[in-house]
């Protein structure tokens, strides 16, 4: 199964605030917020939803394809991704633009406040599956230029290309109508608990009505784990405790990567979800969304410390070219 990942390509600026955001808000003054947070640290890292997902999928033995736009400052980043096993042939560099920038501040409770500058991402609508990835079997539409996200949904439906709809950080930006279009007919709707509440509010749809339109739901819930509603099942996936808790940026992307790799293996949904949970734990243990590393053997061994895969993950231990890739996931 060839999976094409769409989404942002960015440089992340990660900041740490030595306090709690909630202590800075005055409840009866929320309509006139004027705040500044003095941070203890600032790190610049490679990021963006598409490379974050692709990097972890490559660690798990896949060669994922990214379809996205990047800036004139992307050359070194491209070379690094190729070295990690990511196919960057469908990434278009835009002259006169820089890669998108993601600025995120994390407090002591691991709550985050973020801002995003689009940069070259604003040109994502110039790319099309029919031209860049005609052999795709599945795509995931992650946060990107809103107009491009809408166009990708329409193109997937026109081509009959199965897609996972993951508006996540763009849930606030896109309209209720666009959210309805995206989730209607998607293979999976993927977001976190807060974003799912926003989707319900903006679309006016209940969870049952959303599930009537989408093929399934993947909801991450931080330290509470994740919830999968798919194939007539409702599964609660426990988190894998990180060995040390560093910083949460990119953990959700790693979760999606583990889930997608499980789908490629034809794993049961429970196994695929637990692969996502373990991949997220690796990210939580490092600063930055692409600084974690593991061999496939290490991943399988750590998985089996927490869960039973009934031998499904033996497929990860063979050469990637011999790994089967059926669709859909087995029940």
Torsion of CA 115, 118, 121, 125, to 10 degrees: 110
The answer, yes or no, to whether residue 327 has pLDDT greater than 70, is no
Give CA–CA dist 73/298, Å, rounded.
34
- DSSP 8-state secondary structure symbol assigned to residue 295: -
Q: For the segment 239-290, what is each residue's pLDDT rounded down to a tens digit?
A: 999 999 988 889 999 999 999 999 999 999 999 999 999 999 999 999 889 9
The answer, yes or no, to whether residue 322 has pLDDT greater than 70, is no
- Looking only at Cα atoms, what is the longest distance across the chain? 60
Q: Is the residue at 31 inside a domain? A: no
Q: Is the residue at 289 inside a domain? A: yes
Give CA–CA dist 189/228, Å, rounded.
10
Instruction: Report the pLDDT value the prediction gives residue 32, as an integer from 0 to 100.
Output: 84
Mutual angle of helices 269-284 and 49-59, in 10-degree steps: 110
Question: How large is the C-alpha radius of gyration of the chain?
Answer: 19
pTM for the predicted model, two decimal places? 0.89
Instruction: Report the pLDDT value the prediction gives residue 147, as an integer from 0 to 100.
Output: 96
Q: For the segment 130-148, what is each residue's pLDDT rounded down to a tens digit?
A: 999 999 999 999 999 999 9
Question: Could you give the angle at the alpha carbon of 234 between the alpha carbons of 233 and 237, nearest 5°?
Answer: 125
Give CA–CA dist 200/198, Å, rounded.
5
Q: Is the residue at 330 inside a domain? A: no
Domain of 55, CATH number, reads 3.40.1190.20
Range of the domain at 53: 3-9+44-99+121-320
Q: For the segment 89-117, what is each residue's pLDDT rounded down to a tens digit?
A: 999 999 999 999 989 899 998 888 988 88
Residues with active-site annotation? 253
If phi > 0 it is left, if psi is from -120 to 50 it is alpha, else beta; for residue 48 that is left
41-47 β-sheet, strand order: 41-47, 10-16, 100-106, 112-117
* 247 contact partners, CB below 8 Å, separation of at least 6: 14, 16, 106, 110, 284, 286, 287, 288
Provide the domain count of the chain.
1
Give CA–CA dist 306/239, Å, rounded.
10
DSSP assignment of 176-221 equals: HHHHHHHHTT-SEEEEEHHHHHHHHHHH---HHHHHHHSSEEEEE-
Q: Is the residue at 269 inside a domain? A: yes
Q: Is the residue at 179 inside a domain? A: yes
Q: Is the residue at 28 inside a domain? A: no
Answer for the pair 144, 67: CB distance below 8 angstroms, yes or no.
Answer: no
The answer, yes or no, to whether residue 298 has pLDDT greater than 90, is yes
The answer, yes or no, to whether residue 237 has pLDDT greater than 70, is yes
Answer for the pair 224, 195: CB distance below 8 angstroms, yes or no.
Answer: no
Helix (H) or strand (E) holding 254: helix 251-265
Q: Is the residue at 70 inside a domain? A: yes
Q: Is the residue at 296 inside a domain? A: yes
């Amino acid at each position: 199964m060839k999976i094409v990942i769409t989404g942002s390509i960015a440089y992340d600026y990660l900041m740490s605030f030595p306090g709690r955001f909630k202590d800075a808000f005055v409840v009866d003054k929320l309509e006139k917020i004027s705040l500044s947070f003095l941070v203890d640290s600032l790190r610049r890292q490679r990021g963006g939803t598409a490379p974050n997902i692709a990097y972890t999928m490559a660690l798990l033995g896949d060669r994922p394809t990214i379809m996205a736009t990047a800036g004139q400052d992307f050359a070194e980043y491209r070379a690094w991704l190729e070295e990690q096993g990511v196919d960057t042939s469908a990434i278009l560099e835009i002259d006169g633009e820089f890669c998108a920038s993601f600025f995120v501040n994390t407090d002591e409770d691991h709550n985050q406040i973020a801002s995003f500058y689009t940069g070259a991402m604003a040109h994502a609508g110039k790319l099309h599956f029919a031209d860049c990835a005609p052999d795709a079997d599945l795509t995931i539409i992650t946060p990107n230029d809103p107009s491009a996200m809408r166009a990708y949904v329409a193109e997937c439906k026109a081509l009959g290309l199965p897609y996972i709809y993951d508006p996540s950080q763009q849930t606030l930006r896109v309209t209720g109508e666009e959210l309805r279009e995206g989730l209607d007919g998607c293979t999976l709707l993927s977001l976190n608990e807060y974003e799912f509440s926003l989707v319900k509010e903006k679309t006016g749809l209940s969870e049952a009505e959303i599930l009537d339109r989408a093929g399934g739901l993947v909801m991450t819930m931080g330290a509470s784990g994740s919830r999968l509603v798919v194939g007539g099942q409702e599964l609660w996936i426990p988190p894998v405790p990180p060995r040390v808790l560093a910083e949460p940026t990119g953990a959700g992307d790693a979760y999606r990567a583990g889930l997608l790799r499980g789908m490629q293996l034809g794993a049961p949904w429970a196994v695929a979800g637990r692969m996502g949970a373990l991949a997220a734990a690796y990210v939580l243990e490092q600063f930055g969304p692409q600084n974690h590393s593991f061999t496939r053997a290490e991943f399988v061994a750590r998985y089996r410390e927490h869960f039973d895969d009934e031998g499904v993950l033996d497929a990860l231990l063979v050469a990637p070219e011999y790994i089967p890739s059926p669709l859909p996931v087995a029940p």
